[in-house]
């Protein structure tokens, strides 16, 4: 990660510590950026008793949680830095005295200027992946935790972020053939469910609403592996396609149970079992937390392949960028 | 509401007050029962700075939030009182010293015995609807708020719960014809999206996963009205069906925006506009909060009608009640 970005992250983490009595960490964004925050919320839930919640930006603005105020920390993210709902959420939070931190690929964007502590991240094929939005977010999360309650585990986690580029490269290669097969096998499906729990639910959500719905116009829904048995499983049938993620965190038993049932009645399951990931470079006790990052890049290859087999590039839109809404 | 149930609710609310320093209110259940808690979370968010979070039971058990302890309140719900994940969640919470409150239709069930403060609710066509699970939950929420910070608004809200039966009756009648038309028009659809935000998101979720997926085997996904523009909207097309709920709470502008866009490109929209509800008996400033209860009973009629037109009773299951899982 670039020193400039580490400096921005550390300044933000120190500002959180300076609050002394943080009452709530709000993580606020839209769509894929919102989904990024899901594993961070999981980590905060397990590591600190400070409440952490993820909101879609416009819901946050209109809901206006009563606890939002000077003791709050609000972390926002928008790739372009132009998402109006997220800029507004940051402005509302800052006006209420909260410490505002934002992630954006574009500096000097409206979001960049709205937050007190803006953090830049890289985004291109040539970028160091430890500088991506999700890796930068992990660095911030562990820096915040380490400022609040110093712990060698958090220091190790910060170091592991530097190994993310190799982690991504190895696992994308490892799953290249499976991704290609997926593209061929599923190119004619009008609807594909995703399923996950724990730290990985956000990746399943992001794949459903951004990769499948937005970029492929394939209907989808991210089913929570625990909720599956309380409604959705009745839709399971031999020809209903599911992408099931089995994670490495404490919720893995939920994914295992859902997969065990689902494979009895659906012949169209694509399993991403994180137990098959090569997690070299991430300490054993941190693998559950880092797993969603790897699921994300692996699934991106699945999306690339299905797009290729369907002749529908991931960059095509019919509404976004083409009209006002 | 029966005095016996009011007594149970008041005992639970007083136990919450006795904690003095509540650090977190966890609301934990599965599927439809989990969805019940969604508007309660909305109300807590707006009325108190005590953090309130909703978890699916098994996620709660395995995630094991660090903040869960003696200062926590855990509210659970299971209709039968037999949902193993919810019983386990209640036991885990109680073992950690949290104040445990449960809602169940069956007394002396495992859930009933697991919680310190069990609350019974009625459930039958002849029942007083103010004794239903959602009305009883609202009574608890406003009793808790009133114990923590006495306010005439909360006292009025508690009184409004008594008007719920009339509220339900009037609005179900009002939407009877629309429900019938929906059943006829949508009986051949293999997939129907739902959409809502704010206090009503839980009802949209419940309708998607319980009524459509579980009880009709119709594919579905509850899209958040704010998130719609950040992915899902690209799936909108002339023949893609959406049930859109426009609520009465602070997030209504999100629903209005989603509806305005969606109706330009889909010819298959079913709008439930709560502005058309007859909300007599609920004070003006409380209508946003009570709205989800009405949406729930109105949508139930839509489900009854589609089930009738499809010859697929809502009571039919292929996995639930028929096997171990």
- Section B138-147 average pLDDT: 98
> Does B220 lie at the interface with A, CB-CB under 8 angstroms?
yes
- Section B294-319 average pLDDT: 98
Distance from CA of A282 to the nearest CA of B (A): 21
pLDDT digits (tens, 9 = 90+) for A26-68: 999 999 999 999 999 999 999 999 999 999 999 999 999 999 9
> Does A215 lie at the interface with B, CB-CB under 8 angstroms?
yes
User: Per-domain residue ranges for chain B?
Assistant: 3-162, 165-310
ipTM of the complex: 0.97
pLDDT digits (tens, 9 = 90+) for B30-50: 999 999 999 999 999 999 999
pLDDT at site B124: 78
Distance from CA of B127 to the nearest CA of A (A): 25
C-alpha gyration radius of chain B? 19
- Written as six digits, the tokens of B70 are 């003696």
3-state secondary structure of B66: coil
pLDDT digits (tens, 9 = 90+) for A249-292: 999 999 999 999 999 999 999 999 999 999 999 999 999 999 99
One of 1.20.1250.20, 3.40.50.10490, 3.40.50.1110, 3.40.190.10 is the CATH number of B3-162, namely 3.40.50.10490
If you measure CA to CA, which chain B residue comes closest to A83?
B230
- In DSSP terms, B193 is beta-bridged to B221, B242
Distance from CA of A198 to the nearest CA of B (A): 7
Cα B256 to its chain centre, rounded Å, is 21
Decide whether A3-162 matches A165-310 in CATH topology.
Answer: yes
- Interface touch B251/A63, C-beta < 8 Å: yes
Contact yes or no for A171/A299 (Cβ under 8 A): no
CB atoms within 10 A of CB A173: 11
- Section B292-307 average pLDDT: 98
- Written as six digits, the tokens of A22 are 């943080």
If you measure CA to CA, which chain B residue comes closest to A318?
B234
Q: Is the pLDDT of residue B125 over 70?
A: no
pLDDT digits (tens, 9 = 90+) for A107-138: 999 999 999 999 999 887 667 888 899 999 99
- Section A295-315 average pLDDT: 98
The residues in A 1-40 lying below 8 A from B, measured between CB atoms, are 23-24, 30-32, 34
> Does B263 lie at the interface with A, CB-CB under 8 angstroms?
no
- Section B56-63 average pLDDT: 98
Mean pLDDT of chain B: 97
Residue of B47, B231, B288 to mutate, testing the A interface (most A Cβ within 10 Å of its Cβ): B231
pLDDT at site A187: 98
The residues in A 174-203 lying below 8 A from B, measured between CB atoms, are 191, 197-198
Question: What is the number of alpha carbons within 13 Å of residue A181 lying toward its C-beta?
Answer: 8
- Interface touch A219/B236, C-beta < 8 Å: no
What's the full length of chain A, in residues?
Answer: 325
> Does B314 lie at the interface with A, CB-CB under 8 angstroms?
no
The CATH architecture one would assign to domain B165-310 is: 3-Layer(aba) Sandwich (3.40)
Distance from CA of A3 to the nearest CA of B (A): 32
Contact yes or no for B8/A204 (Cβ under 8 A): no
Q: Is the pLDDT of residue B192 over 80?
A: yes
Cα-based distances in Å from A126 to A33, A50, A279: 21, 37, 22
The secondary structure element, H or E, covering residue A95 is: helix A84-95
Contact yes or no for A35/A194 (Cβ under 8 A): no
Partner-chain residue, chosen from A31, A67, A226, that has the shortest CB–CB distance to B227:
A31
pLDDT confidence tier of residue B75, bands split at 50, 70 and 90: very high
- Interface touch B236/A319, C-beta < 8 Å: yes
pLDDT at site A125: 66
Q: Which residues of B touch A86 (CB under 8 A)?
A: none
- Written as six digits, the tokens of B239 are 């023949």
Assessment of whether the complete model's pTM goes beyond 0.80: yes
pLDDT at site B189: 98
pLDDT at site A77: 98
Q: Which residues in B58-77 are b (16+ Cβ under 10 Å) and which e?
A: bbbbbbebebbeebbbbbbb
The C-alpha atoms of residue A233 and residue B319 are separated, in whole angstroms, by 8
- Section A296-310 average pLDDT: 98
> Does A265 lie at the interface with B, CB-CB under 8 angstroms?
yes
- Interface touch B214/A208, C-beta < 8 Å: no
- Whether the CA torsion B92, B98, B101, B107 is positive or negative: it is positive
The CA-based diameter of chain A, rounded to the nearest angstrom, is 56
- Cα distance from N-terminal residue to C-terminal residue, chain B: 36
- Interface touch B215/A209, C-beta < 8 Å: no
> Does B281 lie at the interface with A, CB-CB under 8 angstroms?
no
pLDDT digits (tens, 9 = 90+) for B253-284: 999 999 999 999 999 999 999 999 999 999 99
Partner-chain residue, chosen from B34, B198, B217, that has the shortest CB–CB distance to A63:
B198
> CB pairs below 8 Å between A and B: how many?
205
């Amino acid at each position: 990660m670039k020193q400039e970005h580490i400096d921005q992250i550390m300044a933000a983490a120190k500002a959180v510590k300076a609050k002394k009595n943080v009452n709530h960490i709000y993580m606020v964004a839209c769509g894929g950026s919102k989904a990024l925050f899901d594993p961070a919320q999981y980590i905060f839930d397990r590591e600190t008793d400070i409440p952490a919640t993820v909101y879609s930006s416009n819901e946050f603005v209109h809901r206006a949680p009563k606890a939002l105020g000077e003791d709050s920390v609000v972390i926002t993210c928008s790739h372009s830095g132009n998402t109006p709902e997220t800029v507004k959420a940051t402005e509302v939070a800052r006006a209420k005295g909260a410490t505002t931190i934002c992630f954006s690929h574009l500096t000097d964007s409206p979001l960049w200027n709205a937050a007190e502590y803006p953090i830049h991240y890289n985004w291109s094929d040539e970028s160091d992946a430890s500088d991506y939005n999700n890796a930068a977010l992990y660095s911030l999360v562990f820096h915040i935790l380490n400022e609040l309650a110093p712990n060698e585990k958090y220091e190790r986690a910060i170091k592991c972020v530097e190994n993310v580029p190799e982690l991504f490269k190895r696992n994308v290669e490892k799953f290249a053939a499976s991704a290609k097969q997926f593209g061929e096998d599923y190119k004619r499906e009008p609807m594909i469910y995703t399923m996950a729990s724990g730290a990985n639910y956000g990746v399943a959500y992001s794949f459903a609403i951004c990769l499948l719905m937005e970029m492929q116009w394939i209907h989808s829904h991210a089913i929570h592996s625990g909720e599956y048995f309380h409604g959705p499983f009745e839709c399971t049938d031999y020809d209903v396609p599911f992408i099931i993620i089995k994670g490495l965190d404490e919720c893995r038993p939920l994914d295992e149970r859902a997969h065990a049932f689902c494979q009895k009645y659906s012949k169209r399951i694509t399993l991403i079992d994180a137990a098959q990931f090569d997690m070299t470079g991430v300490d054993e006790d941190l693998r559950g937390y880092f797993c969603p990052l790897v699921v994300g890049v692996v699934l991106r290859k699945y999306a690339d392949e299905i797009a290729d087999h369907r002749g529908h590039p991931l960059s095509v839109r019919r509404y976004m960028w083409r009209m006002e809404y």
